[in-house]
């Protein structure tokens, strides 16, 4: 999801210079492969739901992205590495070819994992040549390259969420990586207030951003409060014990229908044992920690929980105004925990705005006033998804730290739960 | 869809008095039956799509509404007319019983049409007694009664759209009512401008309104223009001839998928003959009038058309600000045409804001800041649908004239086309 | 289902003469309408399952059959009554047009019931003229007319089974006709033996028969026994109480999968009340009579029951050899009970072979050796269904007495239950 | 599919002795692994249709069979190799556990291929100990072991047909094994006659056979003729060119519906290029050889072809009587071609009865008179599938030569095409 504003990325290229770009490229690409180290060959091939992609597909698709949007247009004479890959690894770009059907990505025995790594190596080598010269790369090339790296970071997060789904489906309960999480403690949530007024929202043009984060524009925000930390598993358990999943009056109509049809009784990956609730994590099956943020709930569940508490979800404007005042720090992929953690001690501002879990908002995903997608195929990156989905904010424990911003807009369908998604409460004042 | 704010409806009751209420009740209820006069008994029983209801179901459901929400709570000792009807004719109120499955409404041979008219007569008689006394009805009773009448008017419109669907499905092409429409002439569309600023939006509390129209609140609106008339069939034909249904880059992703899956090539009810395009109307199969507003397009088609024109759909705020400055006049059900007409001659303000066709906006249907649904089962009227749908404004040629307002918010799923829905263009400035 | 052998039907025409044919026609056609007398107009229009047809469709389709296969080819200058009916009322004859989709028969508001009765009256009048002359009708015309009458009798039975389904679906539990059934008493079942040998099977050419009943041919039958009466509700209840619906080892694989997917726990129309099992009948909701034959069980349930009893279903040869030795007497539609009855007292031969319920056999429906369907469109009557279905024998309480024969082969899919179907046990010796 | 008659398998054990059994076991098990040699790890994991299983699943399931039905009951103290495998690798034995859902076999990343080979090695080692002693194994153990080996041979064939499906799905067109097929020449088909009479059918008890092949019994067979070779691709192309796939009158009703729904226009794996028809084979994409037998046609297509030719499919009795007179020789897996070949020169008897392609018959799969499945879970092997499927005879080019017999009864659903299935014509005389 996403296409940069050309100006801001060119800016990025200018400040870092060609060598830095080449290093940036190498660092991001290497991390993708590092994330796959714990995998067996078989783990790369599986697709356990239509919205999940096999890990090897992620490896190939991100490479196809550089080949299609950087090498082919900017390296004269470049020939595609392998006929057929343009079809197999095109995700959804209707204007540059015919995307392979998403629900069938797990039916592809070939290319093998080794062949895909060879594809990566080939494209990396050619990219190295392209970036090796003394002169600065052309602004548009640099912009596309930075876009490709942020695109790859998005797929790094998807790799982790998809591996989690693949492992959780398996009755043998594989472990991605043994881990010991720091023990959390209970902390009271505080309400933080903001007074009504006209505020500015959206990306201001400095540094990289996806096209959907701009243009920066005015909006009117009402008096409201936000909780200073995420909703916890313990709080969500109270909702469950109060019959939350059985009380239709707490739910949006589509949510209730979905919950009944899917048989939801708890967040995804939760299972009730004799000694309480457990859930699958990247570290295997673990007891649910009451102090950690609730995760893997749909927008519908988040909304029902909030209604039960007499509160609501934040708007994306409310969230962004709070986030704009804080440093981008939190429990990201870089912490290595790969699981949401209980909130740090109370401070001046809001806690857990960044990292841990993406936060559902009550805002439907749509264009900002004056929004223009990029010209050409990259215009398909974000704009065409501006219906039927909801905005999420803040990144998760599977997001690279240098990938998010206060203005970053993620989006999922309201019934989706396989991403690392949770919530924070808001209320009118 | 909808539950009034009690205060405003009580207000309505106060100004009109008990006698006027009783007359109001009689007038609305009679019109529902008048709309059914052209029907054969068989026409009352059919359900041609999950979202369509058999006409006899509408007759019974609106009656059940008064029985359930007025007679049972406000008439001591009232006993339900017939056991089982509470199940069969409950549309979606989970908190007052178990609604009969919507897609199966057309599988009910009984009660017969005559039995349903007897049910109506019974409830009308008892309602007559309840309203007959000298004293003014209690405020809450009056509020619910007015709500019930607006609810019945919504079903009057649904009756017409569902009859149209039922007749259009039938290869024998039945005619609901022969009609001759006034010939239209081409009129250029003009752009009307509004400057950015903080504006007030929503119902202000005088007169009846549904709960989702309030509370009145401030919002920031950008510089923009609106076209002064609806998009016409002729303009939509240009889109079709320019390959609009084959060019993925014009479409939202979910729209493109839906259009492919459903095989859309034209608006609903259109069919191509040797001598051009025809479409089913309530007056039977008719040639498409190039000057009349396009109708029966989904949000996705409306959005693609607007993108092709380099424009966009209005936000609901933009629409409402324009509508608030105009009289509520237009081609409503009361005109008797039961079809959208070409625009009247250009004037000072915007044309066709009310009547003709509901207008898709780019606003997802959600709660206004500070929104609170009614307490109890009537809280299910509007609030629980505030996800996954888009707002439409202005009423149609099947809407009773005294039913709409500038603040009225209708809502449908973006893929729905069986209602009388069209569009108006907007653009940034 | 079915097309006569021309020779045998011509024979029938010869013995009866033109006047008798005309009377025969009048008698059968009148009975169809008689069966509809208890219906309200609404009951004629409903289709509660893809395999059910609305009663008005049966009335029209049987008329279309005479129009298409008798009037158009044999009455010079005949013009179809109404354009469009050839599409709407063609059931499955691909070679004479384009059949209207079966699952959508219940979506047709028009033609109205009155219009369909007028269609019947018109065709009956023209048929009367065609048959009024002094001379005998041509042999092939006579053969088709007799085929049309047997076809209409098949739809008489379908009318009753479809009305039962339509009424049973309705939560208001309508009654087709009040009836009091004679009280039954328990009778022990006896096993009747037949020794192995070469036997002759199939229709021998005298009198009317459908094409699938011939040619008469030799077959080898093993030593076996048949029970002398049908399996009763009481016996089936024992199976249920012994966990029959929960024990996979009793079931065919496809049967088990179907039973799980459909949630079968009892025969169709059965429901458990506090005071025992009840079931919907044409006389409304009634207690299950332990002595009456079990009805509305699929082939899979019949097969599982037989396996539980250490027995099996009969082959169609075994059944026919027994039936060929008996008079065609039993509880048919003509008895007026319209429900299966407990067995009459034990006698010399097998009881309940004819009438009460159709009996599932273990024989898949296929062509007899040397089978040739009729030439032309009537060849579609029976032959094209010779796969995936099972043979049933003997007629039911909804079959006209003059419609069945020992050689008559009915056929349904093994998972179907809405017909009046039951079973008799067989075993090897 | 299948469970041996204990007597015959015990007999097999008696003649060969324990050492031979151990060698037999080793030979069959080794061949399974040999068939997988060309596979990449990724190829083992894919399931391209619900009826296809991933190769690694076949490897594990056949091993589970020996563990469950030989080691656990016959080796005192044996403990299962790995908890969970009993669930994952149980195909359909409801009475020994809970089979893992078949359509989800391709969603299992773990156990890895290496782990499954280790599982095989473990079970093989323990089986070796069990068979190592001097004394003859107990008769029932020997019978189960032989059954397990025939079971494994069935999965050898499935391995090849499933690999073909997995590779054919892949746009990269992988090759399982390069091969050059001998060039075929055209040979006229001859009709061979058999006179009517009572014949004996089924297995007589000497040597191994599955339970569904017996008991041997009498049947009456009519005068008929059989063609002396299989139907060729060239003949099938004539059917296609004569509009065979567009002429409803040639098809069974369920066949026509299936062909329309699936869009069939040619046999599975065929694709039309500018220079004619090609098809995927285990040797990659190849031109269709007009002289080779047609393959990958459903029962419905075979039946329609036969009807177009004025012929029919053989009954299984007709086929078996011809086959009983011939040696079991043909183009089996052992020939190494792994593709059907054109017929050998005309001879005294029928050609191609064994090997090349399985031959559809017109016989529905059901129990022979007096059939009794084995007691216990192995009774689920064949008996519970005796509905809804059709019998096929003769083995294919993927069948091991020592696996088939004249009495062997294979069975598939009439719409299935992914097996190596073709046809031979029959006719009445």
Q: What predicted TM-score, i.e. pTM, was given to this entire model?
A: 0.94
pLDDT band of B183, cuts 50, 70, 90: confident
Q: In angstroms, rounded to a whole number, what is the distance separating the alpha carbons of residues C387 and D304?
A: 12
Confidence at residue D348, expressed as pLDDT on a 0 to 100 scale: 82
CA atoms within 13 A on the CB side of B368: 25
Confidence at residue A305, expressed as pLDDT on a 0 to 100 scale: 98
Which of these, B349, B425, B339, B353, lies nearest to B395 by C-alpha position? B353
Q: Percent of chain D having pLDDT more than 70?
A: 95
**Which of C42, C51, C56, C418 has the most B C-beta neighbours within 10 Å, making it the best mutation to test the interface with B?**
C42
Q: Is B314 on the interface with A (CB under 8 A)?
A: no
Q: In angstroms, rounded to a whole number, what is the distance separating the alpha carbons of residues A16 and B28?
A: 71
Flag whether pLDDT at A28 surpasses 70: yes
User: Residues 6 or more apart from C3 whose CB is under 8 A from it?
Assistant: C147, C210, C211, C373, C374, C378, C379, C380, C381, C382, C383
Flag whether pLDDT at A193 surpasses 80: yes
Distance from CA of D117 to the nearest CA of C (A): 31
pLDDT mean over B288-300: 97
pLDDT band of D183, cuts 50, 70, 90: confident
Flag whether pLDDT at B2 surpasses 60: no
Strands, sheet with B421-422, edge to edge from the N-terminal-most edge strand: B410-412, B390-393, B358-364, B421-422
pLDDT band of A13, cuts 50, 70, 90: very low
Q: Is C169 on the interface with B (CB under 8 A)?
A: yes
From D41, D48, D166, residue closest to A41, measured CB to CB: D41
Is-contact C135 C78, C-beta < 8 A? no
pLDDT one-digit tens code per residue, D390-410: 999 999 999 999 999 999 999
Which two three-digit tokens encode residue A137? Answer: 């790369």
Which of these, C137, C191, D106, lies nearest to A105 by C-alpha position? D106
Sign of the C-alpha dihedral computed for residues D80, D83, D89 and D94 taken in this order: positive
**Which of A101, A385, A387, A413 has the most B C-beta neighbours within 10 Å, making it the best mutation to test the interface with B?**
A387
pLDDT band of C247, cuts 50, 70, 90: very high
Flag whether pLDDT at B215 surpasses 80: yes
Q: In angstroms, rounded to a whole number, what is the distance separating the alpha carbons of residues D282 and D135?
A: 44
Confidence at residue D375, expressed as pLDDT on a 0 to 100 scale: 83
pLDDT band of D5, cuts 50, 70, 90: very low
Chain B positions touching A312 (Cβ under 8 A) are: 367
Confidence at residue D357, expressed as pLDDT on a 0 to 100 scale: 98
pLDDT band of C274, cuts 50, 70, 90: very high
Q: Is A80 on the interface with D (CB under 8 A)?
A: no
Strands, sheet with B191-194, edge to edge from the N-terminal-most edge strand: B191-194, B224-227, B426-428
pLDDT mean over A238-266: 97
Report which DSSP code applies to A249: G
Strands, sheet with B276-281, edge to edge from the N-terminal-most edge strand: B270-273, B276-281, B284-287
Strand partners, D426: D226, D312
Q: In angstroms, rounded to a whole number, what is the distance separating the alpha carbons of residues C41 and B39?
A: 13
pLDDT mean over C42-59: 98
**Complex ipTM more than 0.85, yes or no:** yes
Distance from CA of A30 to the nearest CA of B (A): 32
Confidence at residue B100, expressed as pLDDT on a 0 to 100 scale: 96
Q: E strand or H helix at D355, and its extent?
A: strand D354-355
The least confident of A125-129, A380-384, B63-67, D268-272 is A380-384
Tell me which residues of chain C, numbers 100 to 119, contact chain D at a CB-CB cutoff of 8 Å: none
Query: Cβ separation of D107 and A40 shorter than 8 Å?
Result: no
pLDDT mean over C131-159: 91
Q: Is A345 on the interface with D (CB under 8 A)?
A: no
In B, minimum Cα distance to C49 occurs at: B107
pLDDT one-digit tens code per residue, C403-419: 999 999 999 999 999 99
Flag whether pLDDT at D1 surpasses 60: no
From D92, D94, D363, residue closest to C249, measured CB to CB: D94
Q: Is B80 on the interface with C (CB under 8 A)?
A: no
pLDDT mean over B179-195: 88
User: Residues 6 or more apart from D332 whose CB is under 8 A from it?
Assistant: D354, D355, D395, D396, D397, D399, D400, D401, D404
pLDDT mean over A106-134: 95
Which of these, D66, D90, D269, D58, lies nearest to D159 by C-alpha position? D58
Q: Is D251 on the interface with C (CB under 8 A)?
A: yes
Q: Is A95 on the interface with B (CB under 8 A)?
A: yes
From D40, D109, D172, residue closest to A46, measured CB to CB: D109
Distance from the first to the final alpha carbon of chain D:
35
Confidence at residue D9, expressed as pLDDT on a 0 to 100 scale: 35
CB neighbour class for B87 (10 Å; exposed up to 12, middle 13-18, buried from 19): middle
pLDDT mean over D231-250: 98
Confidence at residue D15, expressed as pLDDT on a 0 to 100 scale: 47
The least confident of C174-183, C380-389, D178-187 is D178-187
pLDDT mean over A380-395: 95
From A252, A387, A428, residue closest to B252, measured CB to CB: A387
Confidence at residue A428, expressed as pLDDT on a 0 to 100 scale: 96
Q: How many CB pairs under 8 A join B and C?
A: 86
Confidence at residue B348, expressed as pLDDT on a 0 to 100 scale: 81
C in contact with A (at least 3 C-beta pairs within 8 A): no
Flag whether pLDDT at C120 surpasses 80: yes
Count helices and strands in chain C by DSSP H and E runs:
10, 14
Average pLDDT, chain B: 93
pLDDT band of A136, cuts 50, 70, 90: confident
Flag whether pLDDT at B138 surpasses 90: no
Q: Which chains touch C (3 or more CB pairs under 8 A)?
A: B, D
Is-contact A370 A217, C-beta < 8 A? yes
pLDDT one-digit tens code per residue, D332-386: 999 999 999 999 998 888 999 999 999 999 999 999 999 999 888 888 889 999 9
Query: Cβ separation of B167 and C109 shorter than 8 Å?
Result: yes
Confidence at residue A134, expressed as pLDDT on a 0 to 100 scale: 67
Query: Cβ separation of B110 and C42 shorter than 8 Å?
Result: yes
Tell me how far CA of residue A154 lies from CA of A359, A419, A421, C174, in angstroms: 16, 12, 15, 60
pLDDT mean over B20-25: 91
pLDDT one-digit tens code per residue, D46-77: 999 999 999 999 999 999 999 999 999 999 99
pLDDT mean over B199-218: 94
Is-contact A400 A332, C-beta < 8 A? yes
Is-contact C13 C139, C-beta < 8 A? yes
Which of these, B264, B257, B265, B261, lies nearest to B240 by C-alpha position? B265
Backbone angles phi, psi at D289, to 5 degrees: -90, 115
Which two three-digit tokens encode residue A114? Answer: 């080794």
Strand partners, A4: A210
Confidence at residue D182, expressed as pLDDT on a 0 to 100 scale: 84
Q: In angstroms, rounded to a whole number, what is the distance separating the alpha carbons of residues C359 and C293?
A: 11
Q: In angstroms, rounded to a whole number, what is the distance separating the alpha carbons of residues B385 and B92?
A: 11
The least confident of A327-336, C153-162, C342-351 is C342-351
Chain A positions touching D172 (Cβ under 8 A) are: 84, 88, 110-111
Rg value, chain C, Cα: 22
- Provide the CA A231 distance to its chain's centre, in angstroms: 19
């Amino acid at each position: 999801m996403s296409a940069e504003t050309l100006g801001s990325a060119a800016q990025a290229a200018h400040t870092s210079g060609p060598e830095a770009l080449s290093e940036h490229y190498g660092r991001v690409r290497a991390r993708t492969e590092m994330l796959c180290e714990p995998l067996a060959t078989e783990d790369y091939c599986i697709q356990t739901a239509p919205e999940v992609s096999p890990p090897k597909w992620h490896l190939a698709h991100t490479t196809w992205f550089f080949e299609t949007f950087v090498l082919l247009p900017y390296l004269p004479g470049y020939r595609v590495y392998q006929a057929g890959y343009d079809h197999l690894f095109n995700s959804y770009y209707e204007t540059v070819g015919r995307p392979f059907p998403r629900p069938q990505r797990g039916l592809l025995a070939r290319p093998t994992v080794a062949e895909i790594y060879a594809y990566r190596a080939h494209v990396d080598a050619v990219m190295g040549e392209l970036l090796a010269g003394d002169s600065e790369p052309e602004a548009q090339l640099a912009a596309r390259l930075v876009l490709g790296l942020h695109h790859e970071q998005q797929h790094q997060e998807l790799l982790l969420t998809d591996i989690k789904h693949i492992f959780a489906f398996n009755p043998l309960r594989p472990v991605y990586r043994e881990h010991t999480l720091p023990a959390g403690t209970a902390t009271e949530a505080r309400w933080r207030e903001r007074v009504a007024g006209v505020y500015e929202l959206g990306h201001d043009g400095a540094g990289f951003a996806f096209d959907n984060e701009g243009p920066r524009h005015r909006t009117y925000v009402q008096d409201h409060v936000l909780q200073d930390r995420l909703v916890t598993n313990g709080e969500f358990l109270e909702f469950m014990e109060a019959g939350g999943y059985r009380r239709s009056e707490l739910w949006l109509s589509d949510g209730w229908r979905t919950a009944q049809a899917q048989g939801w009784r708890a967040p995804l990956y939760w299972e009730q044992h004799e000694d309480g609730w457990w859930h699958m994590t990247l570290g295997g099956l673990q007891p649910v920690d009451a102090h950690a943020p609730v995760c893997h709930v749909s927008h519908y569940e988040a909304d029902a929980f909030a209604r039960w508490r007499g509160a609501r979800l934040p708007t994306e404007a409310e969230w962004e105004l709070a986030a704009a005042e804080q440093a981008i720090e939190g429990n990201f992929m870089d912490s290595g925990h790969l699981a949401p953690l209980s909130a740090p001690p109370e401070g001046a501002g809001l806690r857990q705005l960044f990292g841990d879990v993406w936060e559902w908002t009550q805002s439907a995903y749509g264009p900002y006033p004056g929004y223009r997608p990029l010209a050409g195929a990259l215009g398909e990156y974000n704009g065409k998804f501006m219906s039927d989905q909801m905005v999420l904010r803040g990144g998760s424990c599977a997001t690279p730290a240098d990938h998010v911003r206060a203005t970053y807009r993620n989006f999922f369908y309201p019934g989706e739960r396989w991403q690392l998604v949770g919530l924070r409460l808001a209320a009118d004042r």
